[in-house]
Amino acid sequence: MAKDKSKTLGRRAFLATTIGTALLADGLATSSAYAEESQQNKLVKASEKLEAKKTGLLFLGTGAADWPDNYPPIERELARGEVRGLSSMLVNGHILIDCGPTVLDAMKRYKVDFASITDLLLTHTHSDHFHQETLLAIADARDAKLEPLRLWAHPEALKLAPKSSRIEKCPVEIGATFRLHEFDITGLESNHLVKHTQEKCLYYLLEGATKTLLYATDGSWLLKKTWEYLQKKSVDVLIWDATIGEQAGDYRIFEHNDLAMIRHMNQTLKNRNIIKPDTKIILTHMARTLHPPHNQLEEKLLPEGLIPAYDGMSLVL
């Protein structure tokens, strides 16, 4: 009885494809078809690597100290900018900047796993940025099998941190760079004061594989040594303290920015190529009594390239 040639050829084609795929996995295939598939695999892997290098930001609080230190319950729906928690931001899901008293509730609202936070960068110890109970709750959420939460802060600020076996205190020396996950991070001095301590308030420069981020709050104007350090850098995302709005003569300008100050600094940074035409300029730490409602802020500021942040705002860069 004669064999069905079409079935035989079909089986051979199937085997050839299967063997070719196996060879491809071992890097041994040489035909044009296999080379094309190999190229597709390389493109997929390159895309995956690029995705891994992206920087994700989640704003957990965008308000200055005049906002309440409690956060609305989760079941209450919030319009954009209706409520501002005390300033805090999460980077790539595991690096938290500042931990004021509203951060825990904001993390619950925006579905952040406390245990995923490995490091906390502290700018300074004012009560709207540093809350011991919040710090301890985040540290205790990490399983005992995991490494302790690393708290990064100026050495004098670390003296105010609670004692806990679940917290590792890591001093930040101004101008010194340390490696943390996918970032080289540098603490830079800000123009801000905490009375009754010897600490220096910090901005943080985070340099990743593809993006550089400057988190610049609290503070006003750039101190000369911070300005000199930044002249060697190119910043893709700049997050400004924007406590004050358009009001002239507000006494807080000596340690917080108003919008005119931000515009002046932006122009100078552009002139020196520290920021570029496509740099994202984001405003946070906005006072409740010194800014209009968020929709009015957006209508006014977005056309000039200033992005007013709001709680829950998420960006992938």
Give the per-residue pLDDT at 2: 43
Same domain? 28 vs 151 = no
Which amino acid is residue 157, in one-letter code?
Answer: A
On whether both 27 and 78 belong to a single domain, the answer is no
Q: Do residue 218 and residue 256 come from a single domain?
A: yes
pLDDT tens, position by position, 58-100: 999 999 999 999 999 999 999 999 999 999 999 999 999 999 9
CA neighbor of 128 nearest in space, from 212, 35, 194, 206: 194
Residues 17 and 109 grouped into a single domain:
no
pLDDT at 156: 98
Domain span at residue 197 reads 54-316
Q: How far apart are CA 269 and CA 216, in angstroms?
A: 14
What pTM does this model have? 0.83
Ordered DSSP codes for 69-113: SS---TTS---TTTS-PBSEEEETTTEEE-B-TTHHHHHHHTT--
Is residue 43's pLDDT more than 60? Answer: no
Same domain for 16 and 68, yes or no, is no
Whether 17 and 166 share a structural domain: no
10 Å CB burial of residue 68 (0-12, 13-18, 19+) is: middle
Residue in the block written with tokens 């200033």: 306
Examine the domain organization and report whether 39 and 126 are in the same domain.
Answer: no
- Cβ-count burial 101-110 (b if 16+ within 10 Å, e if not): bbbbbbbebb
Shared domain check, 312 and 195 = yes
Distance CA 271, CA 13 (A): 63
Return the CATH number at 310: 3.60.15.10
Going by pLDDT thresholds of 50, 70 and 90, the confidence category of residue 54 is: confident
Q: What percent of the chain has pLDDT over 90?
A: 80
Residue in the structure block whose two tokens are 């196996």: 22
Q: What is the pLDDT of residue 145?
A: 76
Indicate the DSSP class of residue 116.
G
Task: Looking at the structure, tell me whether residues 21 and 120 fall in a common domain.
Answer: no
In a shared domain, residues 12 and 141: no
What single-letter DSSP state applies at residue 303? G
Written as six digits, the tokens of 168 are: 């590792």
* Residues of the chain above pLDDT 70, percent: 83
Helix (H) or strand (E) holding 212: strand 212-216
Say yes or no: 14 and 109 in one domain. no
**How many C-beta atoms lie closer than 10 Å to residue 228's C-beta?**
11
Quick one: CA torsion of 47, 52, 54, 56, rounded to 10 degrees?
Answer: 140
Task: State residue 40's pLDDT score.
Answer: 59
Same domain, 108 and 150: yes
Count of domains for the chain: 2
Residues 6+ away with beta carbon under 8 Å from 173: 155, 187
Work out the burial of residue 203: count CB atoms within 10 Å of its CB; fewer than 13 is exposed, 13-18 middle, 19 or more buried: buried
Please, what is the end-to-end C-alpha distance for the chain in angstroms? 67
Render pLDDT for 114-160 as a digit per residue (tens, 0 to 9).
999 999 999 999 999 999 999 999 999 988 778 999 999 999 999 99
Strand 177-180 relative to strand 167-171, pairing: unpaired
Token pair for residue 282? 């984001």
pLDDT digits (tens, 9 = 90+) for 248-302: 899 999 999 999 999 999 999 999 999 999 999 999 999 999 999 999 999 999 9
Task: Say how many C-beta atoms besides its own lie within 10 A of residue 231's C-beta.
Answer: 10
Residues 6+ apart with CB under 8 A from 212: 205, 206, 233, 234, 235, 236, 237
Confidence of residue 28 (pLDDT cuts 50, 70, 90): very low
Q: Stretch 21-42: mean pLDDT, rounded?
A: 45
User: In the prediction, which pLDDT does 169 show?
Assistant: 98
Is it the case that residue 231 has pLDDT exceeding 70?
Answer: yes
| Inter-residue contact 258 to 245 (CB < 8 Å) | yes
